[in-house]
A and B are shown apart, each in its own frame.
Chain A
Amino acid sequence: MIDINTVITGLGIAGNQVSIPLVQQMLDLLPEIPMVKLIISFILWKPFFAALICPGFTTLGILLLFFPWIERKLCGRIQWRVGPHEIVWWLGGIIQLLADSLRFLFQEVIVHKDAHRPYFLQFPFLTFIPALLPLMFIPAGNIVAIETPYAIQIILAIICLFPLFILGLGWASNSRFAFIGTVREAFMYFAYEVPFIIAVLAMIVLYGTSDPVGIANKQTIWGIILNPIAALTFFIAAAMATSRMPFEIPEADQELAAGPHVEYSGIAFGLIYVLCYEKAYVLAGLMAILFLGGGSGPAIAGLGDLSGVIWFLLKVVIVLTTLFALRTIYPRYRLDQGLSIGWGALLSLSLIALALSIVLVQGGVI
């Protein structure tokens, strides 16, 4: 009989385990059933843990299920009302999104006559590729799926694919509002992408590395304090990229009836509805790493590696909340104003940020 430990070692997953002291003893006490041990070891294998649990699928799923609720509740609060509530009123309607997603799941998906059927149905699913791939490179604490020194660049490259899929959605819909929305999306894409990349570049210059774990470790002082201009640029560009207020220009509910998404219904719309949350999640993760010290923070006793994960998630949620609370504060800019902000103010800000980084590096601050 093969010794299970040999297998685990043989697979090369033994040395790279997530260590959680609090439950370690419990894990050790588990009966020596071969398969259970194998499965647990496999789950706790860092790359797998990152992809499957955090920051991967599970966290994303939970976030998608609860974050819109948090957003709706927070907006409700700022707007002097309560938001979703009656579904389980003693918990403040916390499972609202479960109801919404079930409803979408069971609803009819209408494919209208003018739509290009295959693409119309494929694109909502295809968009998950750029949404999920970056998660492979984003570390939560020191847990990461794929470690590479070029992680930040890869993340950026994948994020840049996003608008292409939205263009695809709009194109396949073949509707006038979707068309205008798609064109607007394309315009905005160029306006924010350049400053966005420069802002990230500024941080890479500052840290001298583009390995996310390395960046996080280097931040004895958080990036947001070292280079606040880059942080501001990044944040505004993120708001543009996820089309949040005041840059909700491609979707513009009152003008274009949600732009590229106007023709989607049922689960296809459900997937698109969560798309911007996914994108925001990726960007917030990136922001947490670049500017907020990633998973750093006082270690929580007994949680081991999970401590970093929790700090990371906390920062992500704070960034997300701020990003989404913007819609209670601002009206929407016009397209030309959005573009001029992107190409004007934001681009200058990003260049200043880059200059600042160079000065800081030359000055030997970091």
Chain B
Amino acid sequence: MEEGDKDRNIRILRSGVFTPLRRWGTKWSLWPCHFVTSCCGVELAHAFACGFDGERLGTLNMGISRQANFIIVEGTITRKMARALRIVWEQMPDPKFVNVIGACGQRGGIFWNSYNLTRPSEIVPVDFFIPGCPITPEGLLRGVRAVQEKIEGRDRTTIKFKTAELPSEGGKGKESRLPTTAKIFAPTPLIKVDVPKEVDWDFGRDLVKSLKAQLGGLYKSITITDKNRIAIKTTPENLVKVVRELSGTTGIDHVKNVNVIDVPHERKFIVEYMVSSYSEELMPVIITVFTEIGREAEPVFPSLTALWESVDYSEREMHDFFGIRFEGNEGMNGKFLLAPETQTPLRKDFKLEEERYVLEDGVPFAPKIELPSDLKMPVSEELLEEAEKSDDFVVLVGPHHTGSGHLRWIMRLKGDLIVDIIPDPGYVHRSMEKLAENRLYIQNIPLFERANISDPFNMNLGYVRAIEKALGIEVPERAKYIRTIMAELSRIGAFFYDSGILSLFTGHSTGFMYVWAIREMILEAVVRMTGSRCTPSFIIPGGIRRDISDDVLNMTSNFTSAINKRLRKFEDIFIYNPVFIARTKGVGVLTREEAIRYGIVGPFLRASGVDYDIRKVEPYEAYDKLDWEVTTGDAGDSLGRYMGRYEEIKQSLRILKQAVDAVKRMPRGEVISEEVLGEYREASKDIKGHLFHAYGNLVLPKGEWTSVTEAGRGTLLYSIISDGESNVPYRVRIVTPCWMNLRGIIEASKGERVADFWAVYGSFGYFPPEADR
């Protein structure tokens, strides 16, 4: 805002005898305008839902900056988001306050050396910092209390440490050297995506044979890399032909992943597409079609968008990360996920700040961050001109909007109808893939979990399963069942999270509160199991960190029946409410073919009639030993998607009940595989004390290890590329369900009415941090 404009504003009774009244009023009327960018937003919702009810303190949630006087920054402020934060802060009337909750907004937490991170304290003046990752609801309310006390004139930190004497006896009295880093990097690693592996898989051998016959001279090699995994090497020129052949004859119909691997010392990029099929027998098979191209400033590569629209956004993402130009993709001008000023960050020569293990001069270490210089968040001029010409109305929804989630939707409206929506994601892009290349395998567990903390166990499970697959570890039976319990709890939690958001989007705050009470029960079970409400980091390669007590098992078992009472009320007031049905039925319909073409996954795909659930197709953990059914539907509309998921949750409760009963019957014993622990096999009941010993030097065999997991919102794919020497992954590719579903949201909303967008958006359970990673 320029200086001259400020004068237009009106200030009433700014000082004088009214000061006490003004203070008192402000103290009890802190209306927060949230910056729910990522994880902490989940806990924020808990703080303001029925579990803790922040409204008690007079803090009424108000999403509109003009009417709020308090910003709570919940989570990461990325380079793109920094602009929004500054703008919103300037839009707010005086007096205003800012609290930053969660480690991301302080010194960065687990994302401390991310290239896309900024610090809110450098953008706006901050009153209080609340540590945690995420904070607990109590922490958030403590922050509100602290601001209230600050208004009263008591500005203080709410913890006081006592300083004790450190031992001074027993110096070594010799020259000493400080240990260097725990990380081992191979200087010139050999990167191979198709390392052959002997597996017992007859179908695969036949498939390879038929593929070889079919592809003729188009391929260079076809390798079986693991069970259900085939890699086809080809040339850049032939890639499109190979893929066309696969989609035509073999019946491959969708892309699971688009990935690029930078190998600077060999001056090449490896570009790979992981393709698969929804036809019965090919379901579990993932075929990696890859090729190598020269490592130039802006190499050109043929795009597959003409064949499969679902690769569109992933190709744009790779363009952002590596600067590869996919010829034929429309989004190759400008950035998609990243801020305009960022340069191809996933190339290996883009270095991140290294860890420091020694505290120097008592100054907490945090890398320097250059803030974006201007506040502009540009929208393409062409779009505006074109809209002007065709008499469309362009509305920018988000990134800070009560119903946008943290991305920006550029809507083109004709009257009340949506002509087109252009997504502008990346406001929560925390660069997980880059960070993962700089962390030990074990350190990546908490990192990936933060992709989606409303579904944390599944995020863990996917990554850990990829590692276990690479190492060939069998997990102890008890741990398998406990992991199943955790995964299902997490799935139920994710569903209720989305239900709450959908009910808010349709304007029903009671529905939100009711499901949050149920979530509060789930989190209580999780905190008693793991010690953390939302970010358990509990599943580790080979098992789980420690066994869980019988009390908690009983509680979880009780939960499966206790949920019914509150769920029935939720059903009556929300799910079967005629207004809700009217809002969602027949809205945003995707047919089976469309759903596959746009690449949507998980329960949303099943709602369009595709019977694909990884828990059945490629069973993991204890799913094949339990009795449950896959839920599908035909409608493919918002209501169908929602009800399909709801039915799925009932199945999840069934699984949960059976799994808990099974664990209760099992004798207590090891929960971590002794194979992975090696010398430390005594720790197989509880990893306490030996985590780093056992896992610090974990090295994966050479090759690419892909795991697919059915997360709460669909197919979650992890692909780890290891060089076989380093104890850090060479590259980790995560494809989250929400990222895949983004296209579905856009396509389903086109042609619908403005208000329908929220019904579609909510029904897809879109969770921006998961999509942006």
A contact residues vs B (CB 8 Å cutoff) = 72, 75-76, 78-87, 93, 96, 98-113, 117, 121, 176-177, 180, 245-246, 248-249, 252-255, 257-258, 261-267, 269, 327-337
Contact = CB atoms under 8 A, between A and B. Distances in A.
Given A76-B55, A110-B9, A257 B509 contact: no
13 contacts: A79-B510, A80-B514, A82-B56, A99-B24, A100-B60, A103-B22, A105-B12, A107-B12, A108-B93, A252-B755, A266-B10, A269-B67, A332-B579
A102 B24 contact: yes
A190 to B, nearest CB: 15
B50 interface: yes
Contact of B509 (A98, A106, A327, A335): A327
Contact of B416 (A113, A253, A336): A336
Nearest to B14: A106
Nearest to A333: B579
Contacts of B64: 257-258, 261-262
Interface of B: 5, 8-14, 18, 21-22, 24-29, 49-50, 53, 55-58, 60, 63-64, 66-67, 69, 91-95, 393, 395-396, 401-403, 416, 503-511, 513-514, 517, 573-574, 577, 579-580, 582-583, 753-758
B93 A80 contact: no
A109 B25 contact: no
B47 to A, nearest CB: 11
A111 B8 contact: yes
B13 A105 contact: yes
A96 B58 contact: yes
Contacts of A104: 29
A96 B27 CA distance: 11
Nearest to A68: B60
Nearest to A258: B64
Contacts, number: 208
B97 to A, nearest CB: 12
A98 B509 CA distance: 24
A236 B93 CA distance: 36
A112 B2 CA distance: 11
Contact of A253 (B57, B402, B577): B402
Nearest to A120: B8
Contacts of A109: 9-12, 93
Interface centre among B21, B29, B503, B505 (most CB of A within 10 A): B29
B63 A253 contact: yes
Given A81-B49, A103-B25, A106-B18, A264 B67 contact: yes
A107 B30 CA distance: 12
Contact of A330 (B21, B393, B579): B579
A331 B53 contact: no
A106 B25 contact: yes
Nearest to A272: B67
B759 to A, nearest CB: 8
A25 B603 CA distance: 76
B164 to A, nearest CB: 36
B40 to A, nearest CB: 20
A104 B31 CA distance: 11
B9 A255 contact: no
Nearest to B752: A334
B154 to A, nearest CB: 17
Contact of B28 (A75, A99, A106, A121): A99
B582 A333 contact: yes
A198 B644 CA distance: 44
A79 B514 contact: yes
Contacts of A75: 509-510
Nearest to A248: B507
B507 A99 contact: no
B577 A331 contact: yes
A105 B28 CA distance: 14
A81 B53 contact: yes
A263 B66 contact: yes
Given A269-B66, A335-B416, A254 B402 contact: yes
